[in-house]
Amino acid sequence: MVITLCVFSAFVFADGETTEVFLTGSSNSPAGDFVVQTTNDMFHYQGREYEVYRVYYDDPDMNMKIAVNSVGECTSFVAFNGEFMFFYNCNKHGFGVRKVMFSNPWVKDDFDAEQFHDQTVLMKKKKVEKKQAVGLIASYVPQLKG
């Protein structure tokens, strides 16, 4: 008799929310590998509504969310947790980080300004697919932490 076991890439949390794995990858940093999961959450910023993805790293201190707004010429992304908000967008030079906000002045000291500058162009394309952009952000944000 052969028994087949099917594995689904979905998780059920205590609140009953079911999430699916959107993508996986490596941060090439001490944060380690990551898993990005879909959520039913919404993020609101400056009158815009963003869909939210959760990012889980081997190092849970780096866990964050990535908010995505697909309205407009270029999709906007916000990587955030309780300490920071990194804004990713496109411009004439390509896709990359554009702005950062910290929860307090001391948090800023833990981040690498040179890495921020290096990440202003992650891709020289103005149009980046959502999955690719979320993967790039999940890969590169941990490198911003000095």
| H or E segment and range at residue 114 | helix 113-118
Q: Could you tell me which of 78, 60, 58 has the C-alpha nearest to residue 68?
A: 78
pLDDT of residue 18: 53
- In single-letter form, the type of residue at position 143 comes to Q
- In single-letter form, the type of residue at position 11 comes to F
**pLDDT tens column, 93-109:** 999 999 999 999 999 99
User: CA separation (Å) from 10 to 51, 73, 107?
Assistant: 18, 32, 34
Q: Could you tell me which of 49, 82, 76 has the C-alpha nearest to residue 137?
A: 76
Full-model pTM: 0.85
CA distance 43 to 109: 26
Positions in the chain short of pLDDT 70: 1-18, 146
pLDDT of residue 17: 55
| H or E segment and range at residue 115 | helix 113-118
Note whether 103 and 111 are within 8 A (CB).
no
CA distance 96 to 49: 20
